[in-house]
Amino acid sequence: MSTPSPDLTSLSAAHQQWQSPARLRWSMQNIARFLPVRPIPRGTRTTAFGAAPQPLGAVPVPHPWGGPVRTFAEVMLATCTDGWIVTRDGAIIDEQYTAPMTVASLHLLMSVSKSLTCATVGALSGAGLVDVTRQVTDYVPALASSGYVGARVRDLVDMRTGIHFSEDYLDGDAEVRLLEEAIDWAPRRHATVPATLLGFLASLRADRPHGGRFDYKSCETDVLGFVIAGATGAHAADVISARLWQPMGAEQDAHVGVDSVAAPMLDGGVSAALRDLARFGTLYLHDGYALDGVPVLPPAWVADTLAGAADSREAFAASTEITLMDGGMYRNGFWFPRAGSDVLLALGIHGQMVYVNRRTRVVAAKVSTWPTPQDGEKLLSTIAAFDAVGAALA
């Protein structure tokens, strides 16, 4: 672990300060300088984008609920953007970085990490190593006394277990914040929180049957990390590298935060470069194939992601949380923000996004440092901005 920035003089100070609005831009690009991580190595092959440069800053973007029309550049500025890229059919149309971020910088992805993890499960499913209809405890026996008894892997990738877990980021007592204490991403304020990620997951209980309504819970993807390890006998970061990052031709190594025993925090701990997010999104534009045609994800997994289950939209509509996505669904780690399956999103708090539009053939990505974890106007404005440039290009 390298030396922290001078304004974060100790690990304790980093725990106290790194998620504060004043620190967020620096810390989200420097996680490995003050927290332990495990690499997700790239391979020897890098897939190349084409180039079709076209400045997009002046494209008009309607406000999501009737406010004044802004330009694409104005929306990017107003949504605290650290970097954005727009590609179409494998060619980079335009991209921009806000200092100190550069094309080579790694940025914390928050819950975009979930989509990468679910894609890896899809690759393992295609290889016959994971069966999403099997019980979670078949792969993770350590959860045999937890609330996950009876849950299927399918319930994890679709966020449909009955586990009791609050995702209220502003509540210091919510399970999502207790999870951060368990992995030492936050100072310990609760003496009863287990000292490892697996110990924390094993302490969770269910408050309703599995397989019901959509209920967004970060813990589900952390369990998937242990499913991946149980199915392969390898560390999940190494499996993500071998099954996703290397075959898609990533340009930069990525990394993921780990707990005291090196278990990966896959619900939000991956950091990666912006162009590699576009490479990842392109897999869902090209039915599982990389930019150079190398197969990465099973086409059947991508098709299943787009189609959803017969009751995916019903389960999504039944969610008790506000999604701002009427008619949408959540499937295999991706959000569908409206009726239909043309647009799918990988999303993370503080403004991380991978946007795929199969109708306009646009894949875009954006990394940000919103001062608050969630912001409906910033989210919908970003979607509207990528919709608008897609329409202009198409």
What would the pLDDT profile of 62-95 be if each residue is shown by its tens digit? 999 888 999 999 999 999 999 999 999 999 999 9
Q: For residue 54, how many other CB atoms are within 10 A of its CB?
A: 14
Q: How does strand 254-257 pair with strand 37-40?
A: antiparallel
pLDDT tens column, 78-137: 999 999 999 999 999 999 999 999 999 999 999 999 999 999 999 999 999 999 999 999
Which position among 27, 111, 125, 341 bears the catalytic label?
111
Tokens 């930019």 correspond to 291
**Separation between Cα atoms, residue 342 and residue 334, nearest integer Å:** 12
Which one-letter amino acid corresponds to residue 140?
V
Q: Considering only residues 15 and 58, tell me which one the structure prediction assigns the higher pLDDT.
A: 58
Establish whether 260 is a catalytic residue.
no
Beta bridge partners of 295: 289
**Alpha-carbon torsion, ordered 170, 236, 192, 27, to 10 deg:** -40
What are the tens digits of pLDDT across the range 276-299?
999 999 999 999 999 999 999 999
Rounded mean pLDDT, 258-267: 98
Q: Cite the beta strand spans of 251-303 per DSSP E.
A: 254-257, 270-272
Q: Which CATH superfamily is domain 37-52+79-372 in?
A: DD-peptidase/beta-lactamase superfamily (3.40.710.10)
Per-residue pLDDT at 1 exceeds 80: no
d(CA 185, CA 191): 15
The predicted pLDDT at position 4 comes to: 40
Judged by DSSP in three states, 91 sits in strand
The alpha carbon torsion through 195, 9, 265, 236 (nearest 10 deg) reads -110
Distance, CA of 33 to CA of 3 (rounded, Å): 6
Percent share of the chain, pLDDT over 90: 92
Contact by Cβ (8 Å): 265, 222? yes
List every span in the chain annotated with CATH 3.40.710.10. 37-52+79-372
